[in-house]
Amino acid sequence: MNKPDLTPDQIIQALNWRYATKRFAPDKKIPDDVWKALEQSLVLAPSSFGMQPWKFFVVRNQETCQQLIEHSFNQDKVAEASHLVVLAIKKDIGADDVTCYIDCVSEVRNVPKDKLEGLLNLIEGYLNEPPFPLQPDKWSAKQVYLALGFLLYSAAMLGIDTCAMEGFVPAKYDEILGLPEQGYSAVVLCTAGYRAEDDDAADQAKVRYKTESVVQCID
């Protein structure tokens, strides 16, 4: 695998180009090859122990998107964006999920399962008796936000506009999309596509605290 070699300036440029898109051009769709890379950003995102306590639902049915608007504080971008991704946690992650993950490690790395008992015990120990109180759903939600970061970042690199959204009613999304039946629950959304020409938010200065207020060196 070749080592990537972007320059610091390319990074900074992409990070400044992106913004939380308020209005999307409803007729512009993300090409398939670009979408596949965005999807892979979610698949390849890291998670604690590599457990991937998540699933990503891509809502393409326009009727469903329309139905979700009222459960998204009437933000119609959930229907106007090219893609709506509902990032969900696996509910109540536990021993079965650890076994499932160990099976995957065994298969991908071609290692017999009995050689993975140490890893299995380590993860189960962490989930059951962590050094600090661990609530599985909260833990899984944090992992999902990391994956969200990967999705937003890939999009910026590829010139795709996005908006991460917490302003929605998870219980309604769960119900409409049938997530509980599968053992999942929505935690955050991401709309992706292309900014509308008249999206005023595109021209607003990015608001960030000064670097010295949020980064502190301990020398």
The contact pattern for its own copies, residues 38-77, with x = CB under 8 A and - = no contact, is -xxxxxxxx-x-x-x-xxxxxxxx--x-------------
Task: Note every long-range contact of 133-137, with CB atoms under 8 Å and residues 24 or more positions apart, other chains counting.
Answer: 136/53, 136/92, 136/93, 136/94, 137/89, 137/91, 137/92, 137/93, 137/185
Candidates 21, 75, 82, 143; binder of its own copies (CB under 8 A) is 143
Q: How far apart are the C-alpha atoms of 195 and 163, rounded to whole Å?
A: 10
- Min. distance of Cβ 7 from its own copies in angstroms? 8
Q: How many residues bind its own copies (CB under 8 A)?
A: 91
- Min. distance of Cβ 26 from its own copies in angstroms? 18
Residues 57 and 88: beta-carbon distance below 8 Å: yes
By the rule CB under 8 A, 214 interacts with its own copies? yes
By the rule CB under 8 A, 17 interacts with its own copies? yes
The 8-class DSSP code of residue 2 comes to P
Pick the stretch among 21-29, 31-39, 74-82 that binds its own copies (CB under 8 A).
Answer: 31-39
- Min. distance of Cβ 108 from its own copies in angstroms? 5
Sign of the C-alpha dihedral computed for residues 17, 18, 19 and 22 taken in this order: positive
